[in-house]
Structures are given as structure tokens and as C-alpha cells.
Amino acid sequence: MTDEFQKLVDILRDGEKIVFFGGAGVSTESGIPDFRSANGLWNEKLQIELSPEQLVSHTYFERFPKEFFDFYREKLVYPDAKPNGCHRALAKLEEMGKLLAVVTQNIDGLHQAAGSKTVYELHGSVLRNYCMDCHAFYDAGYVTKTAPDPPKCEKCGGIVKPDVVLYEEALDGGIMQKAADAIGQADTLIIGGTSLVVYPAAGFIRYFHGKHLVVINKTETRADRSAELVLRTPIGETMAAAVAAL
């Protein structure tokens, strides 16, 4: 056991109001790549190459729904993905009464699948889909396998949109407030699997004024200099081992 790992265990043991703030790196160990690592695609209608960010923008969704869903199904929805060690460790911390909340930028629902109850999904979830006209609910399977292309509501014929915050769209104000409140109450904030470059989500760490700030990420983040502990180790393995050692 290294000194750094032991320090993480000690911080988790000391923490009574822990909040975990996570990004795409949390789910890569479950086989879900960061969609921004995907290659851009050529749009025949526009005769231009579009970036992944443009392909999941509100404008692209409205103008080219079929092409949007082609990219969405291939790069953002992973129905066979399972929770990894980090997801399960956080659920255990919550069960122990030590974790206040998970604040995530991910849209895969794996924290809830692992058993976490208090999860604030800043960017929504692929597991929820709604008709834009009558607001009827549809699960992920309808959008990926059952629905016509693009997905249409069986009740009114409206377009079915994933409950995911697209580029050019605002985050949900209620979720933002709950996430900010949780981070503000925390005595320990663990930042994991995110380089803190996507705003406004990355700005949430400014609400933290607690005792322990930990960063677990493979690359440098802007929170490193403020952190009590920085680990460059795989987050699934690290969190699983640390919680098991409590």
C-alpha cells in the first residue's frame, strides 16, 4: 500500500459528508469512451466535416434529426455497459452514510445501476426520452431499437428527444442548484475522471469550501494545485480498493 493510497483511505475514513464529482473517465473502465474522442463525420447535405460537439448540438438535432440519431446511437448509448469499481464503491459509501451525493457529467445511468440513490445528472440521461409535443416518456430501447428513424411518438407523432443536455442548451436549473448545495455542504470533495474543461459543469467545484479535496484523474486538471491529494491511477480500481480498506 503506497503512502498516497493510504492517504486516500484516511481521507475517506475522516469524511462524513463526501461528494463525488465525476466525468467521462469514470465510465471508460465500463467500456464507454468519451464521445469527444470520436472522429468527426462528413455531412453530405452541408458538405462539411462536423465535430462530435457539433453533431450533438441542438441545432444539428433540429436540422438533421436522422443524422443526429445515427451518431447518438453509435457514440452515446451503450446498453450493455455495466458499473465498474468506482460506481460500486460510491454506492457503498452512500450505504455507509458517508456520501452525500454523486454529481456527474455522464449520461449513462451507471451510478444508479450500481445502487447510488442521490445522483445529480448535470447533462441528463440516455435512459430517459420524451416526446417534444405531448411529453410522453420512452425508454432507451425505444429510441435505439424500436422507434422509426428518427424516433417519433406513438401517441401524437412528435419527435422523441433524449433527456440529454445538448450543446447550445442550458443545464437544468433545479439539478444545478441541488448539485451546488451538496458540494457546498461537503467536508470532502472527490473529483474523478474529469479534466474540468467542460463548462458550466466544471465550475461547480467553486462551491466547495470543505476540508479535503481529492483529484483522481489520469491527466492534469485545474484543481490539482488546490488538492490535498492527486492520484493518476485508474479510478475504478482505486476507489474500489480504498472503500474496501475502510
DSSP 184-225: HH-SEEEEES--S-STTGGGGGGG--SSEEEEE-SS--TTGG
| Among the listed residues 85, 28, 115, 101, the one whose alpha carbon sits nearest the alpha carbon of residue 244 | 85
Instruction: Report CA-CA distances (Å) from 148 to 46, 69, 157, 180.
Output: 24, 11, 11, 39
Chain mean position to CA 107: 5
Return the exposure string of 22-44: e unless at least 16 CB atoms fall within 10 Å of the residue's CB, then b. Answer: bbbbbbbbbebebbeebeebebe
- Cα dihedral 77→31→246→218 (10° resolution): -110
- Whether 123 is a known active-site residue: answer yes
User: For residue 55, which amino acid is it?
Assistant: L
DSSP-assigned beta bridge partners for residue 194? none
Q: Which three cell numbers stand for residue 231?
A: 492520484
From 58, 123, 135, 209, active-site residue: 123
R_g of the chain, CA atoms, integer Å: 19
| Residues with a known catalytic role | 123
